[in-house]
Amino acid sequence: MKKIAILGDIGSYSDLAYKKYIENEAGILEPLYFPLIDYVIEALNDECDYAVVPLENSIDGYIQLHMDLILQSDATIIDEVIIPIHFDYISNYEDASKAHTIIGQYAVFGQCHEFLKAQKEVIFEYTKSNTETVVLFLKSQTNTSAIIPNHLTSLCKYRSIQKNIADEEQNFTRFVIISKKRKSEKISDGFVKVTFVVMPKKDYPGLLFEILEKIANEHINLISIMSRPTKTHLGSYNFFFEMISPCNGQNKIEGVLQTIAREYPIKTLGIYKKAV
């Protein structure tokens, strides 16, 4: 049976994304759970055929560490899954404002910024996954609070709770399914999305404009662009792009990628169906 690497344990948001993915694909994959996102990516080189990676949140944007890890790997994005996200604040204090320590997964703090900004003289402890937060809270002393997914609050004994503390009520995370094997078939319905990285060998005025012009000339919808340091020297950047098109425009998207690749080093991270 083919295996899929998942961040956290059973019940994590990555686990929910995995379950939604196999529902949509009507396939059977054996889940393997890992405590750290680095291990999830590394598992593709060893024991797993697929991996689930949280990539973007509607409040906090892209998870840049995860972007870098996908770029550094030989994996390809083959699909995406969108999951609604809701966080609760639980505490061992009846008056949660007296909490001394708040624990939560590292991506949580950007999504619940306004709530956390109001907490005074509190120590924040970061965890590697939401399910690890639950485990640590269950082992914690009475001066601890935690931010956890609301579907996991029933696992915890707490004295007070504040529900849905994210900065925005409509909060979603996009997970990508990555694999070492590329999908060869064309997208037959809906919208096609492409994620790619341009890695210029040198910087010069008008560089980014030249790339954007090639995309605009084909009337393709560029939905995001982000610069990320190359990590070779200060002031050197790669450019991450994402574009979408109706499925009948996939050939046009592939043509634009070929055009860009003639002038700049490029890595296509995936061409896949846009999640609804």
**Are 194 and 267 contacting, i.e. CB atoms less than 8 angstroms apart?**
no
Provide the token pair at 194: 């492409």
Maximal CA-CA distance, the chain: 63
Over residues 40-66, the pLDDT tens digits come to 999 997 899 999 999 999 998 999 999
Give CA–CA dist 152/131, Å, rounded: 8
The model's confidence at residue 239, banded by pLDDT at 50, 70 and 90, is very high
Provide, rounded to the nearest whole percent, the portion of the chain with pLDDT above 90.
74
How many CB atoms within 10 Å of residue 219?
A: 9
Give CA–CA dist 269/175, Å, rounded: 14
pTM of the complete model: 0.90
Which CATH architecture is the domain 191-273 placed in?
Answer: 2-Layer Sandwich (3.30)
- Residue 249 confidence (pLDDT): 93
Which among 80-89, 118-127, 155-164 has the top mean pLDDT?
A: 80-89
CA distance between the termini of the chain: 28
Per DSSP, 274 falls in state P
CATH fold group of domain 3-85+171-179:
D-Maltodextrin-Binding Protein; domain 2 (3.40.190)
Q: Is 233 exposed, middle or buried (0-12, 13-18, 19+ CB in 10 A)?
A: exposed
The domains spanning 3-85+171-179 and 87-162 adopt the same CATH topology = yes
**Are 165 and 152 contacting, i.e. CB atoms less than 8 angstroms apart?**
no
Domain positions in the chain: 3-85+171-179, 87-162, 191-273
Torsion sign across C-alpha atoms 245, 248, 253, 259: negative
- Residue 112 confidence (pLDDT): 93
**Are 61 and 167 contacting, i.e. CB atoms less than 8 angstroms apart?**
no
Over residues 170-209, the pLDDT tens digits come to 999 999 999 988 777 789 899 999 999 999 988 889 999 9
Alpha helices in the chain (DSSP H): 13-25, 37-46, 64-72, 108-111, 113-117, 130-139, 207-217, 250-261
- The residues facing 4 across adjacent strands are 31, 50
Q: Is 41 exposed, middle or buried (0-12, 13-18, 19+ CB in 10 A)?
A: buried
The domain 87-162 is placed in CATH, from the list 3.40.50.620, 3.10.20.600, 3.40.50.1240, 3.40.190.10, at 3.40.190.10
